[in-house]
Amino acid sequence: MMRSIRDRLSPQIEGMTLEEELEWLASQELTDPFLRRLREKAAQQDDAAAAASRGR
């Protein structure tokens, strides 16, 4: 299952920066539970990075 998800996503995000990947992921309508968890984790990391940069 993971391999099929990776194989489907890789061509779509190839060449994107991390910021572009995060924007792409946030814009997707997710019915796949794995991708939903991935988007939630990415959002948490983005929030943590923003908080860290504000604290500097």
Distance CA 56, CA 46 (A): 16
DSSP secondary structure, 14-49, as one string: TT--HHHHHHHHHHS---SHHHHHHHHHHHHHHHHH
pTM above 0.85, yes or no: no
State the CB neighbour count (10 A cutoff) for residue 9. Answer: 16
- The one-letter amino acid code at 55 reads G
Segment 19-49, tens digit of pLDDT: 898 888 888 777 778 878 888 888 888 777 7
Between 2 and 25, name the one with better pLDDT: 25
Residue whose entry in the numeric block shows the structure tokens 């997707």: 28
Instruction: Report residue 56's pLDDT band, with 50, 70 and 90 as the boundaries.
Output: low
